[in-house]
Amino acid sequence: MPGKLTINGHVFAEMMQSPADIRMPNIMDNDACLYYILNGRGEVYSPTEKVVIQQKDSVLMKCGSYIGCFLDASPTNMHESVGFHFHPEVVQRLVKAGRLKFPESSSEEPVSAVKLAANRQLENYVSGLMY
């Protein structure tokens, strides 16, 4: 069951709850997407990666260029996640300001999804939104 928060007509955040394992494409504009797991486990398939994420992990990728799978979801173990959408200019400003950093890569190949470990600030932010 999805829920959306929009700002100025643009989707900013989406909440997803599911009692079953599902696969679903995410069709969005040219935004960056930060997908955060509140409860459960998931896999994200992008054009170049398969990223497995656990509770409190997140992955940053281009919206609409991946398929997400909820794993181990059941009526007694609901999968819950939140997706945040950012215009490319916002991501560029965060990187330039040093507020968003990516792990160094030894590969010259482009990466389409970056897994981010549990982050207390993000956890607190999401908890505040849930309130």
Q: For residues 22 and 71, is the Cβ–Cβ distance under 8 A?
A: no
Q: How far is the C-alpha of 99 from the C-alpha of 91, rounded, in Å?
A: 10
23 pLDDT above the threshold of 70: no
Rounded CA separation 81/41 (Å): 9
The yes-or-no verdict on residue 76 having pLDDT over 70 is yes
Q: Would 128 be classed as within a structural domain?
A: no
The answer to whether residue 82 is domain-embedded is: yes
pLDDT value at position 33?
84
Could you tell me the pTM of the whole model?
0.74
- Residue 127 falls inside a structural domain: no
What does pLDDT average to over the chain?
78
Residue 129 included in any domain: no
Residue 130 lies in a domain: no
Whichever domain contains 88, its CATH number is 2.60.120.810
Rounded-to-5 percentages of helix, strand, coil across the chain: 15, 45, 40
Give the range of the structural domain holding residue 33, as residue numbers without chain letter: 2-103+110-122
Whether residue 1 is predicted with pLDDT greater than 50 in this model: the reply is: no
- Would you say residue 30 has pLDDT above 70? yes
pLDDT at residue number 2 = 56
Q: 95 in a domain, yes or no? A: yes
Structurally, the chain folds into a number of domains equal to 1
Tokens found for residue 122:
């993000």
